[in-house]
Structure formats: structure tokens, C-alpha cells
């Protein structure tokens, strides 16, 4: 320590005083940030203040809860603790916590997965507690492989740190296998018999890329897994939960470990809280906190940070919780479903930098589980409330738009007085909702929830919260005139008409056949939502539909298919799917040349060409379209990312979406693009010709996620129109006219992005 350290402490103290007394803001990050600028070794300089050691808590979900609960347990056991309790989990947050603290026994620090590499080498923590790894903010942090490499690198720089990891997660187990650090494994050692969600983040062996087999799954990729090829499997558990009981009133389990056993219970719901408590117990046991002290900490645990926090608003019990990725939202939905009574649920979603700009992941959430719940009111809020409303619509839920939590409570008058409210918010949406619920909870019931009239959403004079649009429905689609190669007029708007969503008397029963290729592998960015949209838009017109989910290793006769969907996936999964696709090459070529309809997104779009980018390698493609994809200078880190708007012959409205790709695609001479970039922020196929995607016969390929079709219903109907023409030829049935649908919700979501990009 020297002048640099002294200067760092001085500027930290001044900035802390200014933030608290002048700007009246919390000083959780900035003092550490300026201190690190002055002295990059400030964490290492302050680490000796921790007399007994430190614990870093890392993982996608549950970090803040586990960090606070472990710190509480240590304090209950009489230890002095330094902790970044507010969730300021970058190096600046850890530095700030240390700068503000005096000498202590233990440090317990929440650490961002990618920032652990900047914290652990300086802190040299005794333990790193790895909770789980799920896809989260793909546009910011990239694929999970990158996170694994970063965590493994951090551990290599602190070789004496013991890795305490979730062995039920193959992604965590792969890190433990890779590093040379001491390890301790925890997991749930029995089948909880939980219903499974649609999308799981890790289907393949981390060693050899074979599909994993499961004796049982808990949720996501967590469970008892093994690879039938190389033997990679869940490690033996050092700390195990057994005799797990999950109920609406709480949970309990028996914890077994090398130092003893414990019976733990908590008034929380959800399987994910079993893992959070088990992880806390595993770490507490290692730092010599007794089971009795941990149980007392659990009993007294009263989070005030919006994580599983209870409020009483207008006499209604209200639960607020954070969810920032599909797994988190799905686990919250499980909690909501335990309440069998009438209830209101609000989802607040932002897309600020801390959240990730891409909201495609909303379509990987199983909102459908809420459909059909009696006495359920659903609300959509946050910056991207229009996207939430569209997603809920296609899940069978009619959501009202709200600007804040007050608007939600003002619209709950029709529900019984004992109906509960659930508010789920993502990262940056949580603080304002948390603050508002705190304010409402302090007001009299009439002030909080007794408004005499419902607030009006922007552009909604009815006050119902539903999106309004003067051009909500498209005109009936003349199938033969729909443009697929750019030489025909786009669909125009018209007045909405009623649709009874039932087949007309005597309607032909031959279903429209949609093949979703390899959804078990190619499931990034919520692109499966495109299939949901196509299916629903056909059914609402009384057209029978059958969706074939063609998983890895399965075969489909494309002669019996009218529309094929092909998405993108992580590199490991995409490589395996490409082997299946190359075996289908001749069938796909015949299908395309016979005017079969094909929608391909991102990696699925790339493989249509003669060459495409698989990881960092350019490999042979299907050759269905004259185009190639090459590696960008600088490799996969040089990505084209952001919201984008296009003008396409397939839609009169501007087409909006989100792109995130490292490949640079070049179309052959005379090959038509899906659309031309109409926004200043969009890149397109290669960032030079300002065109995105491809159109060839009835093939549409694009880099647009979002997913593509929910906010661009005219494109969806263009694809359906051509698919119905193929069905007519295949099955010998008449070609129906596509009746217009009420697309007010979809068009409002489109308009929001379009206006944001100034792409009117």
C-alpha cells in the first residue's frame, strides 16, 4: 500500500459524502469505481481486512438472495460481515463495500458472472459459490460458453479458492471438471416430479456434444444427467437435499453433508428456492455456521430489495419478485400457479443496458401455463410493455397495458377483496416498481387502490389498457398476388372484421402442416414464437393446423409438409443440427424447388447458402440459395447487434426486429434480399450493402429475431398464404381467403419499435 491506495481511499470518501449528502443517492458503486481508477489493486489492498476469509457468490439466478442470506447466517452466528447487499456486483460494488467497511471476519460478495474475472484474482476468496448458469442477456454477455470460460479463468487465477457448485447443472459441473481448484458439489438427490418447461438451456454433453440423458429433471437443465457416449455425468454430491416438500405455504428438506445433517424449512415457494437454500447451507457449513444459526437467519429473513418481498396494498397481499430471464419467469409462474384463487399478475419488462436490449427471450417463457386460470387479471408494464402484451396475447391471455403498479391496483376493483397481486419485474424495472409498492403500502387503502376510474394508457381513450390502432387489421389476402420475390405488391391495410375462431360448416379437415425442425437444438432468442404465431393466425381463421416438432434424430417426409421453420442455436447444438440437415439436403432441395414455404432465422438462414459460419469455421451449407456467409474480422466477438427496421415487399408496414450475429452474408448476383435496412442503427447481412436476409421462391431467410412474426403480422400472413396454396395442391382442397384479423396489439408493438428507430 502507498500513495495510490491513500489517494483511492480519499476520492472514495469524498464521492461517498457527495452522493449521500448532496445528491441524496446510494453510494453502492461510484466510490469503488473512482477508487479503482486511482488504484486498480484496491480490492487486493483491502482484502486483509477480512480476518477469516471471503465468499464470492456467482450464477445467473439467485445471487442476491443467497448472498444476503449467507451474510445474515454469519451475523446470526456472531461473525462480523462485509457484504454488497444491494446487488452492486461489479468490481466497483465489491470495492465500495470494502472501502465502507472496517475490519471484519468474513466478506460475502455477490459477483457478476463476467466480472468475477476482475474480482477474484485480487480478492483470492476462500470459496466461490456457483449457483447455476442460464441464458441471460445474450446481446450483452453472449452465449453461456463465454461465461463458463470467464469463470474458469477467474478460478485459475485464484487456485486455492474452493469451488462450491451446483452439480445438478451440467454447465456448472463442466466448469468444476475443467479447473484444478478444490471443489464441493451440492444438488437435490431425488426427483421432485415437477412439470417441465418448453425450453432448456443445456441439452448436450459438455465433453463430446452428445445429447444428454436424464434420470429426472427438476427444471431447466437441472437434474440427474449422464452422457451415453463419454460418461460425463452429475458428480457425486457432497451436500444433498432429500425429502423435499414444496407447498403454497412454504418448503422444507433434509440437508445431508460431510460435516453433518440439517432439517431446514422456509416460508418461501418454488423449487428454485430449494436450490438457493441448499447452496446457502453448503457454504454456511464450510464457514462453520451451525444449522441452527442458518435456520434462525431463514426465519428472520425479510428481504427489502424486491426479491420475494411481501407488501399489503389496499388490503391486498402483494408479492414482488425479480425475474430477468426465461428460467426466472417460469419459476415465478410456478409460484403464481400455487395460488388457486382469483388474482392479478403484472409483468414489468425494460430493455435498458442492464436488462439487455433484446426482448426475444419473452417467447421462451411458458406464459401459456397461466391461460384458463379462473379469476385472473393480467397486466403488462415497463418500457417494452407492448412486446409483453403481444406475447401474452399469443399465450391466450388478454393483458391490459399499465404505466405503473398504481394503474394495476386501480383496475382490480372487479376482483374479490382477498384476491392477491403478483408483480414480476426484470432488472431495471424492479427499483421503480419496488419504490412505488412501498409508497402504496404506506397509504390508506382508498388512496392506493380505490380509484374511481381506470387510468388510460397512451393512445387508449377507453382506459381499458388495450392497444389501439386505426389500422389494426390487414385486408383479405389474395394468395396468388402475394409477393415472395419482390415483383408483386404488398398487402394493404383495411378495416378489422369479426372472426369467430371456428371452422365454417363443411370446412375441409385437411390440416395445414407446419414442420418445426429441431426445436430441441435450435431454440435461441425465442424464435419458436414464430411457429406459435403462424399456428394461431391460421386457427383464428378456422383453418386446421398441425405442428410437427421434428427433434434431433427424427425424420419428416417434406412431401406432406406445407411450411418449414428453421431457427438458430448455440454453436454446439447448431453443429449437431447441421448434421441432420445435411442428411436432409436432397429432400430440402426438392421441397424448395417445389415451392415449399421455408422460414429460416439467423443460423438457420446461414445454412441455406453454399457456405456458412459454424462457430469460427466456414463450412459447407445446404446450397439451397446462392449465398455465402463468411467469418467477420476479429471473429465471433465482432458482432452486428441491435434493433433494426426493414422495408420488405412482404409487408406494407416497416418490418422490425433485433439482430445479433457474427457472420457476414453475401447474396449471389440477382438474389433478392428479404428487405432493405430502413433504420440508422440497423446493419443487415454484412453491414455494407444494408440489406437483410434473402427471398428465393417461397423461401424467406433473415437475421431478425424479436421474434420476427409477432410484431410483423403481414409477413406471417404472406407465409401462410403461400403455405395454403401448397396445401391446396398437396391435399386437393380449395384455397381459402385469409380473413383479416384484429392486429391492434401487434401493430402497437411494431409502432413502438419503429418510432424508437425513427423508421416511419
Task: Determine the pLDDT at residue 629.
Answer: 92
Q: Alpha-carbon distance 675 to 653, whole Å?
A: 12
Residue-wise over 567-599: b if at least 16 C-beta within 10 A, else e? bbbbbbbbbbbbebbeebeebbeebbeeebbbb
pLDDT of residue 429: 97
Q: Which CATH class is domain 481-756?
A: alpha beta
pLDDT < 50 regions, the chain: 444-507
> 688-699: b or e for each residue (b if 16 or more CB lie within 10 Å)?
eebbbbbbbbbb
The rounded distance, in Å, linking the Cα atoms of 409 and 318 is 10
Question: Could you confirm whether 83 is annotated as catalytic?
Answer: no
For 343-371, give the secondary structure using H, E and C: EEEEEECCCCCCCCCCCHHHHHCCHHHHC
Of 285, 705, 717, 743, the catalytic one is 705
* β-sheet with 617-620: strand ranges across: 617-620, 611-614, 627-630, 664-667
Residue 138: its pLDDT value, please? 61
DSSP tag of 567: -
Q: Is 158 strand, coil or helix?
A: coil
Smallest Cα–Cα separation from 429: which of 364, 362, 383? 383
354-390 tens-digit pLDDT: 899 999 999 999 999 999 899 999 999 999 999 999 9
Q: Is 83 annotated as a binding residue?
A: no
Cβ-proximal residues to 94 (8 Å cutoff; 6+ apart), any chain: 32, 43, 84, 88, 109, 111, 119, 123
Set 56, 83, 172, 602: catalytic member? 602
CA distances from 283 to 163, 259, 287, 293, 659 (A): 10, 12, 6, 13, 41
Superfamily in which the 309-449 domain is placed by CATH: Mur ligase, C-terminal domain (3.90.190.20)
Q: How many residues does the chain have?
A: 760
Q: What would the grid cell of residue 472 be?
A: 389494426
Q: How far is CA 475 from CA 138, 494, 500, 529, 713, in A?
A: 37, 5, 17, 24, 12
CB atoms < 10 A from the CB of 666, how many? 16
User: Mind spelling out the 3-state secondary structure of 700-742?
Assistant: EEECCECCCCCCCHHHHHHHHHHHHHHHHHHHCCCCCCECCCC
56 marked ligand binding residue:
no
The CA distance from 81 to 99, in Å, is 13
* Annotation marks residue 602 as catalytic: yes
Strand extents, DSSP E, 602-706: 611-614, 617-620, 627-630, 640-647, 655-661, 664-667, 675-677, 691-692, 694-696, 699-702
In the set 112, 339, 358, 743, the catalytic residue is 358
Q: How far apart are CA 528 and CA 516, in angstroms?
A: 8
Is 172 flagged in the annotation as binding?
A: no
Q: Which of 408, 401, 398 is nearest to 383 (CA)?
A: 401
User: Does 111 participate in catalysis according to the annotation?
Assistant: no
Residues near 351 by beta carbon (within 8 Å), at least 6 away in sequence: 357, 358, 359, 383, 384
Q: Where are the alpha helices (DSSP H) in 204-353?
A: 271-286, 291-300, 326-337
Residue 608 DSSP SS3: coil
Instruction: Tell me the CA end-to-end span of the chain in Å, nearest whole number.
Output: 58
CB 206 within 8 A of CB 149: no
Please, are residues 539 and 547 in contact by the beta-carbon 8 Å criterion? Answer: no
Indicate the CATH number for domain 47-300. Answer: 3.40.1190.10
pLDDT at 637: 76
Q: What does the H/E/C string look like for 412-472? A: CCCCCCCCEEEEEECCCCHHHHHHHHHHHHCCCHHHHHCCCCCCCCCCCCCCCCCCCCCCC
Is 205 marked as binding a ligand? yes
Note whether 385 and 359 are within 8 A (CB).
no
What does the pLDDT read at residue 74? 98
Domain residue spans of the chain: 1-38, 47-300, 309-449, 481-756
pLDDT of residue 39: 78
Asked, colleague to colleague, whether 47-300 and 309-449 share their fold, the answer is no
Q: Determine the pLDDT at residue 420.
A: 96
- Helices 271-286 and 63-76 sit at what angle, rounded to 10 degrees? 40
Single out the residue of 598, 718, 589, 593 nearest to residue 648, CA to CA. Answer: 718
Residue 111 labeled ligand binder: no
Amino acid at each position: 500500500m502507498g500513495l495510490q491506495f491513500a489517494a483511492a481511499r480519499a476520492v472514495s470518501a469524498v464521492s461517498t459524502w457527495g452522493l449521500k449528502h448532496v445528491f441524496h443517492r446510494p453510494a453502492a458503486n461510484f466510490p469503488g469505481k473512482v477508487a479503482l481508477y486511482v488504484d486498480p489493486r484496491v480490492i487486493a489492498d483491502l482484502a486483509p481486512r477480512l480476518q477469516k476469509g471471503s465468499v464470492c457468490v456467482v450464477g445467473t439466478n439467485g445471487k442476491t438472495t443467497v448472498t444476503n442470506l449467507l451474510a445474515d447466517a454469519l451475523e446470526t452466528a456472531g461473525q462480523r460481515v462485509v457484504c454488497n447487499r444491494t446487488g452492486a456486483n461489479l468490481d466497483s460494488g465489491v470495492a465500495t463495500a470494502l472501502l465502507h467497511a472496517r475490519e471484519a471476519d468474513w466478506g460475502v460478495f455477490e459477483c457478476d458472472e463476467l466480472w468475477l474475472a476482475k474480482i477474484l484474482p485480487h480478492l483470492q476468496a476462500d470459496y466461490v459459490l456457483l449457483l447455476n448458469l442460464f441464458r441471460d442477456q445474450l446481446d450483452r454477455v453472449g452465449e453461456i460458453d463465454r461465461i463458463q470460460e470467464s469463470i474458469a479463468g477467474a478460478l485459475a487465477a485464484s487456485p486455492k479458492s474452493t469451488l462450491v457448485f451446483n452439480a445438478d447443472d451440467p454447465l456448472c459441473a463442466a466448469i468444476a471438471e475443467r479447473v484444478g481448484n478444490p471443489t464441493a458439489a451440492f444438488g437435490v438427490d431425488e426427483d421432485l416430479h415437477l412439470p417441465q418447461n418448453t425450453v432448456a438451456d443445456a441439452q448436450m454433453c459438455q465433453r463430446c456434444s452428445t445429447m444428454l440423458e436424464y434420470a429426472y429433471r427438476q427444471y431447466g437443465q437441472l437434474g440427474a444427467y449422464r452422457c451415453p457416449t463419454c460418461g460425463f455425468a452429475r458428480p457425486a454430491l457432497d451436500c444433498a437435499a432429500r425429502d423435499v416438500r414444496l407447498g403454497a405455504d412454504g418448503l422444507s428438506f433434509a440437508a445431508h453433508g460431510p460435516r453433518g445433517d440439517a432439517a431446514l424449512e422456509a416460508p418461501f415457494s418454488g423449487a428454485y428456492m430449494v436450490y438457493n437454500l441448499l447452496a446457502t447451507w453448503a457454504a454456511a457449513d464450510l464457514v462453520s455456521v451451525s444449522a441452527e444459526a442458518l435456520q434462525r437467519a431463514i426465519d428472520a429473513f425479510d428481504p427489502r430489495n424486491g426479491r420475494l418481498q411481501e407488501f399489503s396494498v389496499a388490503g391486498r397481499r402483494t408479492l414482488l419478485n425479480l425475474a430477468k430471464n426465461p428460467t426466472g419467469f417460469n419459476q415465478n409462474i410456478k409460484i403464481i400457479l400455487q395460488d388457486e384463487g382469483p388474482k392479478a399478475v403484472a409483468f414489468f419488462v425494460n430493455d435498458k443496458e442492464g436488462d439487455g436490449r433484446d426482448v426475444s427471450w419473452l417467447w421462451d417463457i411458458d406464459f401459456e401455463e397461466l391461460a384458463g386460470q379462473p379469476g385472473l387479471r393480467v397486466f403488462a408494464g415497463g418500457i417494452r410493455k407492448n412486446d409483453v402484451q403481444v406475447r401474452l396475447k399469443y399465450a391466450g391471455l388478454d393483458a391490459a397495458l399499465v404505466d405503473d403498479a398504481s394503474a394495476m391496483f386501480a383496475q382490480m376493483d372487479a376482483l374479490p377483496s382477498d384476491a392477491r397481486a403478483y408483480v414480476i419485474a426484470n432488472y431495471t424495472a424492479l427499483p421503480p416498481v419496488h419504490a412505488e409498492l412501498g409508497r402504496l403500502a404506506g397509504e390508506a387503502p382508498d388512496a392506493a387502490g380505490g380509484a374511481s376510474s381506470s387510468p388510460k394508457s397512451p393512445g387508449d381513450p377507453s382506459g381499458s389498457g388495450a392497444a389501439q390502432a386505426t389500422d389494426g387489421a390487414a385486408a383479405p389476402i389474395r394468395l396468388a398476388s402475394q409477393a415472395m420475390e419482390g415483383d408483386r405488391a404488398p398487402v394493404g391495410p383495411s378495416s378489422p372484421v369479426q372472426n369467430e375462431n371456428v371452422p365454417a360448416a363443411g370446412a375441409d379437415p385437411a390440416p395445414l402442416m407446419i414442420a418445426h425442425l429441431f426445436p430441441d437444438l435450435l431454440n435461441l432468442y425465442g424464435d419458436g414464437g414464430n411457429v406459435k404465431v403462424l399456428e394461431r393466425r391460421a386457427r383464428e381463421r378456422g383453418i386446421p393446423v398441425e405442428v410437427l416438432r421434428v427433434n434431433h434424430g427424427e425424420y419428416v417426409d417434406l412431401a406432406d409438409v406445407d411450411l418449414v421453420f428453421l431457427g438458430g442455436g448455440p454453436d454446439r447444438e447448431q453443429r449437431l443440427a447441421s448434421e441432420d440437415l445435411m442428411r436432409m439436403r436432397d429432400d430440402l432441395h426438392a421441397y424448395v424447388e417445389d415451392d415449399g414455404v421455408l422460414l429460416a432465422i439467423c443460423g438457420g438462414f446461414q445454412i441455406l447458402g453454399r457456405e456458412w459460419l459454424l462457430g469460427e469455421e466456414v463450412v459447407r451449407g445446404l446450397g439451397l440459395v446462392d449465398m455465402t456467409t463468411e467469418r467477420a474480422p476479429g471473429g465471433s466477438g465482432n458482432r452486428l447487434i441491435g434493433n433494426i427496421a426493414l422495408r420488405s415487399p412482404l409487408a406494407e408496414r416497416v418490418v422490425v426486429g433485433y439482430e445479433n450475429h457474427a457472420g457476414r452474408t453475401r447474396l449471389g448476383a440477382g438474389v433478392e434480399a428479404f428487405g432493405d435496412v430502413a433504420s440508422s442503427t440497423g446493419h443487415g447481412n454484412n453491414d455494407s450493402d444494408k440489406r437483410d436476409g434473402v427471398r428465393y421462391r417461397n423461401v424467406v431467410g433473415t437475421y431478425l429475431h424479436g421474434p420476427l412474426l409477432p410484431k410483423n403480422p403481414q409477413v406471417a400472413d404472406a407465409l401462410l398464404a403461400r403455405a395454403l396454396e401448397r396445401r391446396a395442391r398437396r391435399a386437393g382442397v380449395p384455397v381459402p381467403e385469409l380473413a383479416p384479423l384484429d392486429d391492434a396489439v401487434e401493430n402497437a408493438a411494431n409502432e413502438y419499435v419503429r418510432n424508437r428507430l425513427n423508421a416511419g
